[in-house]
Structure 1
């Protein structure tokens, strides 16, 4: 167990290191490399990771509270059962990451690549997914109330049983979505009808 607070690192190579069970508070990491590092059950709070590389890192069981991961790479990382609470994840790429059991609580996930992620039955209320790529995601029975889904890519997404009430759906190709058993509000119903060519008075 180790603790670091108010530390700053730039272009530091942490790849392959054993960083398990640590606590990082108010630390800043710029362009650092964590490739293939062991970061299981690490806890971060109010940290900033800017353009860092987490490819292949083991981050299962990690907990992140009000931290920022901006333009970071998570390809091949193991995020099983990790939790991100009120985090800023803008521009980060999760292509090929193991994200089963991940928990997303609030936060800003704008411009992220979350293709193929399984987020079924998740409570995703209020998350900002502005222009994120959710293509082929499993959102079955997910709670997406009050999410910002503006211009999100949702091709071949699974939405059955999801709750979209209050979510912003501007700029989405609604015609391509399957709304089977999806809960929507009146404004969204009008938006969907218009996307299908109906004239709503």
Structure 2
């Protein structure tokens, strides 16, 4: 088990340059005055590191591994993070009650496991094929971010999978999430306003008090999910929607249809 309170050694800009070739950083403090702009830190490994750099701009973290790292509220701007792996990391500052932000970042095929992204924001980020397991995205925002990849001028493919993640109070409005998979996730009081979830799977999820206005659930699979508050009348499309038998009465009653036993 990792030390919950490791002793961190602060690193200077000169030390970073001289040791960057090793691509391995353990118990390192990245202090607030450290400038990382445009650094090449691809294929690096960060273990139990503490990042207090408020702005990380244009850094290449492609294929890097972050394990048991902590981030003070950090803004990642135009960073390359495709194929990165975050395991046991915290990007939410408990004292400030504030998360980190990602703006114009490439996070294609990033993997997150048991991380805290609470109240983080992803602004205009590429999140195609992201995979997350047992992570907190409570209060997260995905402003103008994309989970899609263009296949041709007229065709796009959306892909992402989330297993056991918490999106309560999150803003997922306006996203293209067709074909994406959510297994045993919590969406209490989250927003799916104008979100396209066509052909998506939301299995065994908690979907109570969700905002569904103009959402598309065409051919979506919601079997095993708790749908308290879902009113089909506010949806833009629900043709082919699959739900559990135990939820059908509540959905029909929301349309004003009385369900009586034979």
TM-score (norm 1): 0.91
**1:55 aligned partner:** 103
Matched, 1:189 2:248: yes
**2:13 aligned partner:** none
RMSD (CA atoms): 1.7
Offset at 1:11? Answer: 4.8
Offset at 1:104? Answer: 2.1
Matched, 1:117 2:117: no
Which residue of the other structure, out of 57, 76, 84, is the alignment partner of 2:132?
Answer: 84
Distance 1:116 1:27, change over 3 A: same
Which residue of the other structure, out of 135, 139, 142, is the alignment partner of 2:197?
Answer: 139
Uncovered stretches (5+) of structure 2, i.e. residues with no partner: 1-42, 93-98, 149-158
Deviations 1:29-75 (A, max 9, x none): 12111111122221110101111110111212211112121111111
In structure 2, how many angstroms separate the alpha carbons of the residues matched to 1:185 and 1:179?
A: 15
Deviations 1:95-132 (A, max 9, x none): 10121223223311112111222222233221111111
After the TM superposition, list the runs of 4 or more consecutive aligned residues in structure 1 that deviate by more than 6 angstroms.
none
Q: Tell me if the contact between 1:2 and 1:22 (Cα under 8 Å) persists in the aligned partners.
A: yes
Q: Tell me if the contact between 1:175 and 1:192 (Cα under 8 Å) persists in the aligned partners.
A: no
Uncovered stretches (5+) of structure 1, i.e. residues with no partner: none
* Count of matched residue pairs: 201
